[in-house]
Amino acid sequence: MTTLAHRRDDLDPVIEWVRNADPLEGTATMGWSYTHQAEMSLRSITAGETSPVDAIAVRTRRRSVRPLLVALALLALGGTATGARLLLGGPAPNEVKSDLEAVDQGMPADLRYNPDILNARLVAQADGAQIYAADLLEGGYCAEIVIADAPPAGAVCTPTATLASKPIDATVPFVDPVTIRSPFIVGGRVNVPGAASLEAVFRGGASQQVMLGDGGFFVFAVSADHLGDAHRHGLSIVATDAEGSQIASTDVPGTDFRDPQEQDAKQAIFVSTISTHNDFTRVLGIEGSVNVAGAASLELLYPDGTVVHVGLTATGHYQYDLPAERQDDLYELPGQLVVRDGRGRELASHPVAAVAFWRSEG
């Protein structure tokens, strides 16, 4: 089956041809020309927002020459009415733009990533998955992986300050329920310059080639013959230059099928902060569990030195609502949860802070 071309550059000559072939070039009707409408149709089709069949049907009602031009343009792109691949560089769908925009929801102005939502674009695709990216105002990017027949996985942002610590940035989204046979999708970006090729290397030494997209971005699905290995042991992603020398690598962990509550219980103090999505500088409350033997009491130490007692249940769980006048106190500096035994000796401590504080640290 033929597919639409991958690159934005492949579309531009076709659009130019449509312009030159249009007998109504420059003739505007209600603010738009027929040529402009054809161009928008092509871009909408290649972005996956409109099917070729729908686009041609609409144009047929307007002018008989238009479906011919659109159809010829699709043939020049190697497209078909079904199974078309998206065009790299094409615009992100609205649901992805909404997710990218949501990364700043509830954050103060000085901590916002400010992704360029208007120009969010498709940067890589393979194996039924796509990755979209938006540049950040002060450098870096936000990216989101979209898997076929699944909701967007949520945006992940990498500002310039953290690029050096992530020579290869990789994310693995999963759709519940996750089993040993679930698809294993990996997406991200090679942040070091000079990468000419990329491969996934598995524990036994076998490898799988990975196609690089625009700007060093990539996305792929682990092949069926390596799926169990990847779930059990993870994999490494290795980037090489044009001479075949390794220039960067990163490890992707295997799938953790353990109960999340069992994992929480391995922490001496597990804490979860309660906030609203409208303001992540505020902490309305804290909850969690104390999992250290001999724990008799729990304290919350505010940054200004104030100490309050937090009640513990017989099972070690706790929940504490911060007073309204204290809900802003864990934004600029973290507080501490401190566990003590029956004699008042400290057994463990754990920082607690607003969500916005942790972004400022990143």
Architecture of the 260-361 domain: Sandwich (2.60)
pLDDT at 35 over 70: no
Q: Which CATH superfamily is domain 94-252 in?
A: Immunoglobulins (2.60.40.10)
Per-residue pLDDT of 249-298, as tens digits, reads 999 999 987 777 777 777 999 999 999 888 999 999 999 999 999 999 99
pLDDT at 8 over 80: no
pLDDT at 238 over 60: yes
pLDDT at 17 over 90: no
Same fold across 94-252 and 260-361: yes
Mean pLDDT of 85-92: 87
pLDDT of residue 361: 75
Q: Where are the domains of the chain?
A: 8-76, 94-252, 260-361
pLDDT of residue 87: 87
Report field, pTM of the whole predicted structure over 0.75: no
pLDDT at 165 over 50: yes
Q: Which of 52-66, 146-160, 263-277, 307-321 has the highest mean pLDDT?
A: 307-321
Residue 151 exposed, middle or buried by CB count within 10 Å (0-12, 13-18, 19+): exposed
